[in-house]
């Protein structure tokens, strides 16, 4: 009799835990949907820029402009690059809905040669990071034979 009572209590506890986990999962899904609904999107005037022919050692700058197309402010968290030759500058202030912002990219060609393709990945409160791309054809006298 005691054994049956213990089994019953165990099953009751197991069922209660499963119900709580299901409720927590449903709440997590609802919270994620609320968070996703608040994420914004920005639209860039252009996402690529070709600097053309450059001489090694030149430092060039280009400004990518964007507009906040959403209903919430955009907060840029970081701008990651695939090369130490690139600096990406951006405002740490929020970009309000309907307002414009910018990412300024400085490209230092020192030590480079040939066709260059560099990626700048912008992390913000958007659904996914935005990738900006710059190109250049760098001529370097040290590599001419």
Can you give the pLDDT of all 145 residues of the chain as single tens digits? 555 665 556 555 555 555 544 544 555 554 444 445 566 888 999 999 999 999 999 999 999 999 999 889 999 999 999 889 999 999 889 999 999 999 999 999 999 999 999 999 999 998 889 999 999 999 998 866 5
Q: pTM to 2 decimals?
A: 0.72
Residues 74/98, Cβ–Cβ less than 8 Å? no
For residue 123, the cross-strand partners are 78
Cβ-count burial 45-55 (b if 16+ within 10 Å, e if not)? eeeebebeebe
CB-CB neighbours of 136 under 10 Å: 21
Strand order of the β-sheet with 100-108 is 42-44, 59-68, 100-108, 86-90
**Beta-carbon contacts of residue 61 (< 8 Å; ≥ 6 apart):** 104, 105, 106, 107
Which tokens sit at 22? 């299901």
């Amino acid at each position: 009799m005691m054994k049956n009572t213990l089994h019953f209590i165990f099953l009751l506890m197991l069922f209660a835990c499963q119900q709580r986990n299901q409720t927590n999962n449903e709440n997590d899904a609802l919270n994620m949907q609320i968070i996703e609904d608040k994420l914004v999107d920005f639209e860039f005037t252009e996402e690529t820029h070709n600097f053309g022919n450059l001489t090694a050692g030149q430092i060039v700058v280009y400004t990518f402009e964007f507009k906040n197309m959403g209903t919430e402010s955009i907060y840029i968290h970081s701008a990651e690059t695939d090369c130490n030759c690139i600096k990406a500058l951006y405002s740490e202030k929020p970009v309000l809905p309907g307002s414009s912002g910018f990412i300024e990219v400085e490209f230092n060609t020192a030590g480079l040669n040939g066709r260059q393709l560099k990626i700048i990945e912008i992390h913000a409160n958007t659904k996914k990071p935005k990738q900006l791309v710059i190109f250049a054809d760098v001529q370097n006298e040290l590599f001419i034979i």
